[in-house]
A and B are shown apart, each in its own frame.
Chain A
Amino acid sequence: MEKFLWAFVVGGSICVVAQIMMDVFKLTPAHTTSTLVVVGAILGGLGWYEPIIKFAGAGASVPISSFGNSLVKGALEEAKRSGIIGVLAGIFEVTSAGISAAIIFGFMSALIFKPKG
């Protein structure tokens, strides 16, 4: 039960940071998400993102910042196995499910739905 609470608090806090970036610093949503992804990648490289996921579960793995972390994680894991070329080969290893699902269901939605308005 505690895990749900921390997922709520941490996930919500990341969204508040993004909301402040949008409202106070007048960034567009695209700039905000790109910044969070880069921050996630840097935290992942420092090894600080995994402890947050351990602690907050989906609160840290559902926000887009975990995308950056997963990219770094995949690159480093594959590099350990197959040398420096693994950085290129492994970068999408962990995030493949998310990106593939977004492409496949996005395409299916274009087949099914008509634009509104």
Chain B
Amino acid sequence: MSNKKNKKLTPTQQQYQAFAKAREPEPSVVRNCLRAFLVGGLICTFGQALQMMFINYFNFTEETAGDPTVAVLIIISTLLTGFGMYDHIAQWAGAGTIIPVTGFANTVASASIEHRSEGFVLGVGGNMFKLAGSVIAYGVFSAFVVAIIKITIQALGGM
């Protein structure tokens, strides 16, 4: 493909392309992964601490403690998004802030705030799931398929 592209360019342009490519900063995958590991791990550890707090002090069980934990994480992430701090952290941490449930809340909150100027119904209401919608759509559809397959297999006597 790059040969096809190069044919259209003059020799000088080709030289420049090679020159520019050699000087592009290498995207440091290792550094990004370390940051993602650190921040993602810390968010999960914080979630674990919240979960233990709800179990030990508020009489939740291991099963039910998930809901308040997620809710608290979402409140914190929404507030940080509103104050414009989540984007700064996300810039540094990459997937470390996108993958935990806080990233889901961040996309909902940031889309809501961003489209506020278009009105509360068409702007906020209509665009709230602009980024988070794909997660819900693919999650629900794949869960539906998986559940149907599993039920069919069980009905046929397997598993």
A interface residues with partner B (beta carbon < 8 Å)? 3-4, 7-16, 18-24, 29-30, 32-34, 36-38, 40-42, 44-45, 57-59, 61-68, 71-72, 75-76, 79, 84, 87-88, 91-92, 97-99, 101-103, 105-110, 112-116
B142 contact from A15, A33, A62, A68, Cβ within 8 A? A68
Is the CB–CB distance between B45 and A11 below 8 Å? Answer: yes
Q: What DSSP secondary structure best describes chain B's contact surface?
A: helix
From 118 to 156 in chain B, residues with beta carbon under 8 angstroms from any chain A beta carbon are 120, 124, 128, 131-132, 134-136, 138-140, 142-144, 146-151
Bound CA–CA A68/B44 (angstroms): 17
B interface residues with partner A (beta carbon < 8 Å)? 27, 29, 32-33, 36-45, 47-52, 66-71, 73-75, 78-79, 81-84, 94-96, 98-105, 108-109, 111-114, 116-117, 120, 124, 128, 131-132, 134-136, 138-140, 142-144, 146-151
Bound CA–CA A101/B101 (angstroms): 11
Q: Tell me how many residue pairs across A and B have CB atoms closer than 8 Å.
A: 247
Q: What DSSP secondary structure best describes chain A's contact surface?
A: helix
Smallest beta-carbon distance A54→chain B, Å: 9
